[in-house]
Structure 1
Amino acid sequence: MNRAICGAALVAVMLAVQGCASPGAAIDKDAQARAASEQPAAPKPEDFPSPDGAKWKQGAFPGTDAFARIRTGMGKDQVRELLGWPHFSEGLWGVREWNYLFHFRTGKSADYVTCQYMVRFNGDGVSTGGWWKNPDCALLAQPPAATPIPATTKLAPPQKVTLNADGLFRFDGASLADLLPDGRVRLERLATELRNNFRALHYVLVTGHTDRLGGDAYNEALSLERANTVRELLVQQGIDRKLIRTAGMGKRQPVVSDCEGTRSSPALLHCLQPNRRVEIDVAGEQ
Structure 2
Amino acid sequence: MKVWSSDAMRKAALGAAGIAGVVLVAGCAAPPNNDRAEIREAGDGFPALDDNWYDGGRFVDPRNILRIKEGQSKDQVRQLIGNPHYSEGFFGVREWNYVFNLYTGEEGGDYITCQYQVEFDDEMALESSRWREAQCPALLAPVERKEDQTLVLSGDVLFDFDSDRLTLEGRRALERVAQSALSEFEAPGMLITGYTDRFGSATYNQALSQSRADTVADYLSTQGISRGDIRTAGRGEADPVVTCPGSVATQSVTECLRPNRRVEITISESVDG
Shorter chain as normaliser: what TM range?
0.3 to 0.5
Q: Which structure carries more helix by proportion?
A: 1
The structure with the larger Rg is 1
Question: TM-score, normalising length from structure 2?
Answer: 0.44
